[in-house]
Amino acid sequence: MWDRQARLLGDRGQETLARLRVAIVGLGGVGSIVVEELAQLGVGELVLIDNETVDATNLPRLLGAERSDIDKPKTDLAARSATRANPQIRLTTVPRRVESPEALRELVVCDWIFLTADSHSARHWVNAVVHEFLIPATQVGVKIPVSPDGGIGRIHTATRLITPGVGCMWCNGLIDPTELAIEMHPEAEREQARYVPGVPAPSVMPLNTLAVGEAVTHFLLASASLHESDDDLGSVIHLPRTRERHLQDPRQSARCRWCTPTGNLGRGAGGELAARKAATTRS
């Protein structure tokens, strides 16, 4: 079954994929594509985390979605897609927010995390897991700015590596403390706390696919030790309207609370996240 892939990865590379436990946080338009590609590659186990259900506007963007899936948990749809792609795959579904104890206990025993949820709370908690438990992650996102008059701004896709001990999401200004504080409240209170009501962001599958292709390709090459340089930890920003591609090196604050040895880096069960939420340590 894996003959064509093994010609690139080698037998050991393919076996490595089969032994990996990978989490996907957020199973929307981007996350559903990540699930499909990882399952098709032969990743051994997926942890699927999302607390939302499918609505009608999701159908054009969720791989394999049908009208009968409306109101079903996104974790159920993702699990079905993964099993269709690879009947031997092992699955753990967590229909909860990422900061729930159930989700965090699963994250801290993964080998890699894909962050495809676009909330500041998801960024914060995944960032904490990466640095406390030394688990690499990839953030995958698409931004389509649209003005009130319908004008389209600077579309970009981002594939950001979150590497333990190397400039975290707080250091790079990717987490807004005000939005994080709002998102940690119940849904009704979150809407009341915002001066401007939330508006659904534009989303189309081809742009999602562009970002996911970059992210999963990097994961694949890293898993099989096929990168030409182990020092390339930059993020990739695509600007589809001008067909530009830029690399961004991570910045790091010397006093960061999360990604430095004086903070929570590598503290595992003794770290701030573990003390608050997670009861399971990485074996």
- What domains are there in the chain, each with its CATH number? 3-272 (3.40.50.720)
* HEC string for the chain: CCHHHHHHHHHHHHHHHHHCEEEEECCCHHHHHHHHHHHHHCCCEEEEECCCECCHHHCCCCCCCCHHHCCCEHHHHHHHHHHHHCCCCEEEEECCCCCCHHHHHHHCCCCEEEECCCCHHHHHHHHHHHHHHCCCEEEEEEECCECCCCCECCCEEEEEEEECCECCCCCCCCCCHHHHHHHCCCHHHHHHHCCCCCCCCCCCHHHHHHHHHHHHHHHHHHHCCCCCCCCCCCEEEEECCCCEEEEECCCCCCCCCCCCCCCCCCCHHHCHHHHHCCCCCCC
> What is the chain's pLDDT, residue by residue, as a tens digit (283 residues)?
888 888 899 899 999 999 999 999 999 999 999 999 999 999 999 999 999 999 999 999 998 899 999 999 999 999 999 999 999 999 999 999 998 989 999 999 999 999 999 899 999 999 999 999 999 999 999 988 888 888 888 899 999 999 999 989 999 999 988 888 888 766 654 544 444 445 567 788 999 999 999 999 999 999 998 988 877 788 999 999 999 999 999 999 999 999 999 999 999 988 888 766 654 444 4
Proportion of the chain above pLDDT 70, given as a percent: 91
Least Cα distance to 132 among 160, 159, 113, 158 occurs for 113
Return d(Cα 114, Cα 33) in angstroms, integer. 11
- Predicted confidence (pLDDT) per residue in 112-133, tens digit: 999 999 899 999 999 999 999 9
Return d(Cα 101, Cα 155) in angstroms, integer. 35
- Predicted confidence (pLDDT) per residue in 229-248, tens digit: 877 788 999 999 999 999 99
Return d(Cα 1, Cα 270) in angstroms, integer. 43
Return d(Cα 146, Cα 110) in angstroms, integer. 36
